[in-house]
Amino acid sequence: MDQRRTPGERALDLLGHPTANAPVPASPLAFPDGGTWRTELPSCEGPAVLEAVLAESARLAVPLHRVSQGSGVWMLTDAEIAEMVAACAAAGAELCLFLGPRGSWGPAPVAAAGVRARGRDQVAGCLDDALRAAALGVRCLLVADEGVLWALHRLRAAGELPADTTFKVSALVGPVNPMTYAVWERLGADSINVPGDLTLPELADLRAASAAPMDFYVEAPGAVGGQVRLPEAAEVVRCAAPVYLKFGLRNAPDVYPAGAHLREAAVSTGRERVRRGRLVLDALARRGADGGMSPPGARLPGKLLRFAGTEG
């Protein structure tokens, strides 16, 4: 089936309406395993949420390549991290934890600081989070600061972090132009979250500038725009591959930083994110675009470009 033409397009043809404009160019790239897309479930805030998410994933047959958490490494105990690492390993999913601290949560929060690390001490705190998480078996870290990413990549290149550690750029600082996207790759990013409001031509522009895998909210939380792009999932894959399709949830309560007082909301919204994933997979199948998924357990990004002196 031609993934660019929906049944709706054929119906318009029958009614005598003009054919849509020429499609946005397809991406020629893929993950090293040959797949063009993987899945990610965000906002998996702790062991209780992870347990519910993995159970719902099995029930609805929604494979998860990656689950990510937004509250931060420092909001989890060592025992909780170890439990999550073990559960993800058993399920064949990659666990990604957010690094902190962040400027907006500091002693004098300033909105303009956003989630970037403010000052030398916050950078040191992020690196401490990374080293602690890596020692507990975490191999994917979620980063929201360019300087922190560069420092992490240099530590990885120097052997201070495991060579198979991957760094994911947060949606809260995602690039909106191809030049910035390419810079994030060269700073050490292994996947880069972009805003959910980017058009298909804009996504194609980013892809033309860099081979780094793209993270894309098919449905975005309200805090990062609230876009619902489910009908475009097949086109996103075609134009942006290799891409992680993220199963977000609009109109969900803000649970950051999470804890026992928000457990019920975090668990119920986690389950609903999995159901949203089922809707995405069904939409891809209806377009004949569901055959390009990476094998379960796939996680590495392939060879990427880095600034001189830190290749690898």
DSSP 42-105: ----SHHHHHHHHHHHHHHT---SEEEESS-GGGS-HHHHHHHHHHHHHHT-EEEEE----GGG
What is the CB neighbour count within 10 angstroms for residue 77?
A: 10
Structural domain includes residue 251: yes
How many structural domains does the chain have?
Answer: 1
Measured distance CA(83)–CA(79) in Å, rounded: 6
Percent of the chain with pLDDT over 90: 82
Measured distance CA(91)–CA(297) in Å, rounded: 8
Structural domain includes residue 8: no
Structural domain includes residue 304: no
Domain hosting 268: range is: 37-102+115-286
Structural domain includes residue 21: no
CB contact set of 31 (below 8 Å; sequence gap of 6+)? 38, 213, 242, 294, 298, 301, 302
Measured distance CA(63)–CA(85) in Å, rounded: 17
pLDDT in tens, 107-156: 765 655 678 998 999 999 999 999 999 999 999 999 999 999 999 999 99
Residue the block writes with tokens 């457990």? 263
Q: Would you state the pLDDT for residue 1?
A: 42
Structural domain includes residue 167: yes
Measured distance CA(261)–CA(66) in Å, rounded: 25
CB contact set of 300 (below 8 Å; sequence gap of 6+)? 32, 164, 166, 190
Structural domain includes residue 213: yes
pLDDT in tens, 245-303: 999 999 998 888 888 898 999 999 999 999 999 999 999 999 999 999 999 999 999 99
Helix ranges, 158-286 (H): 178-187, 200-209, 233-240, 263-286
| Residue 262, domain CATH | 3.20.20.70
Structural domain includes residue 189: yes
Structural domain includes residue 74: yes
Q: How far is CA 304 from CA 32, 166, 258, in A?
A: 11, 12, 34
